[in-house]
Amino acid sequence: MPDIMLDLETLGTTPGCVIRSIGAVAFDPNGGPLGESLYLIIDRTSCEAAGLTVDPETEAWWAEQTPEARAEFDGQGVALAEALDAFELFYTTLAPIADKADRLWSNGPSFDEAILAAAYRSLGRKPPWRYNAARDCRTIYDLAGLKLQHTGGTFHKAIDDAIEQAKLVQEARRLLIAAGPPAWRTEVNTFANLMEQQLRANDHKGGWKGDTSDALYQRLLEEAEELSQALAWRSALFGDADPERIGREAADVANFAMMIADVRGALGTEARP
């Protein structure tokens, strides 16, 4: 079953902003032809009716982009609710949610995924992906020494961006696997150091020095679960008590956990649970 690459074009940069278009494509990170795709232009008025907002600076930025990029905002588009229905059907049909193995890629989760999740919540709905499905394109690009660049299509057109990002993730994974186990072991240590810094910044106790990749993965997964539970608990007791921050932390930790699981697989160790 495929992973899903997501790209949004918006009128803001934070959760709660208006979404003008959604691009998504199914793909296998290990390579091969891309799968089914979805492209939706969304009616601005329906977004604003749901309480989503427009950032003036972002709107001014769009005015400076190419006519080709701005063209996708011409016309009315579909209503927000209809667009969210279409994406949910696309995602749940193609992604292996039942196997708890769905993976939603974006550039990166604190933007596309967070903004789309906020749109679902604005209509009283739950996003269709699992809490730990997030994958960050920028992380794997950096590890492989790659930068996002367009070889075709229109830059800042959601579907074209999603396709380019999916192809680059495939190339990054190919390069990382070709680098062999020594490079992967170095990245495991890098992940450990990054996550230790993050946990210390959040007042978590305990060091991870000397942990094997198996132990590190398990601790990261436990941390992601704890953060997810904290999100649900705080939201239930206090309403909207900064759930975006906790949600981003949970997604970040889960993202690292699953990437380390992939590292373990590349090293020939036990498969991810």
Tokens encoding 116? 């789309």
User: Binning pLDDT at 50, 70 and 90, where does residue 233 land?
Assistant: low
Whether residue 140 sits in one domain with residue 197 = no
- The parent domain of residue 165 ranges over 1-179
- In the chain, which ranges are continuous DSSP H helix? 44-49, 56-63, 67-70, 80-94, 112-122, 137-144, 158-179, 181-201, 213-238, 243-266
Peptide bond preceding 23 in cis form (omega within 30 of 0)? no
Smallest Cα–Cα separation from 150: which of 134, 166, 136?
Answer: 166
The structural domain count of the chain equals 2
Tell me how far apart the alpha carbons of residues 93 and 96 are, in angstroms, rounded to a whole number: 8
Whether residue 160 sits in one domain with residue 185 = no
Q: Read off the pLDDT of residues 177-226 as tens digits, 9 standing for 90 and up.
A: 776 554 445 555 565 566 656 555 554 444 544 555 556 656 666 666 56
pLDDT of amino acid 225: 59
Whether residue 44 sits in one domain with residue 54 = yes
Whether residue 157 sits in one domain with residue 81 = yes
Of 150, 179, 208, the last residue of a domain is: 179
User: Binning pLDDT at 50, 70 and 90, where does residue 123 land?
Assistant: very high
For residue 196, give Cα distances in angstroms to 74, 189, 229. 47, 10, 20
Of 137, 158, 179, the last residue of a domain is: 179
Whether residue 201 sits in one domain with residue 151 = no
Whether residue 188 sits in one domain with residue 152 = no
Indicate the average pLDDT of the chain.
Answer: 79
Whether residue 27 sits in one domain with residue 88 = yes
Q: Is the pLDDT of residue 6 over 90?
A: yes
229 versus 206: the higher-pLDDT residue is: 229
Q: What percent of the chain has pLDDT over 90?
A: 45
Identify whether the C-beta of residue 4 lies closer than 8 Å to the C-beta of residue 105. Answer: yes
Tell me how far apart the alpha carbons of residues 260 and 91 are, in angstroms, rounded to a whole number: 24
Low-confidence winner among 103-107, 116-120, 128-132, 256-260 (lowest mean pLDDT)? 256-260
Of 127, 154, 179, the last residue of a domain is: 179
Q: What percent of the chain has pLDDT over 70?
A: 63
Whether residue 173 sits in one domain with residue 270 = no
Q: Is the pLDDT of residue 251 over 80?
A: no
Tell me how far apart the alpha carbons of residues 160 and 238 are, in angstroms, rounded to a whole number: 41
| CB contact set of 57 (below 8 Å; sequence gap of 6+) | none
In degrees and rounded to multiples of 5, residue 134 shows phi and psi of: -65, 135
| CB contact set of 270 (below 8 Å; sequence gap of 6+) | 214, 264
pLDDT of amino acid 270: 42
Tokens encoding 144? 């492989």
233 versus 73: the higher-pLDDT residue is: 73
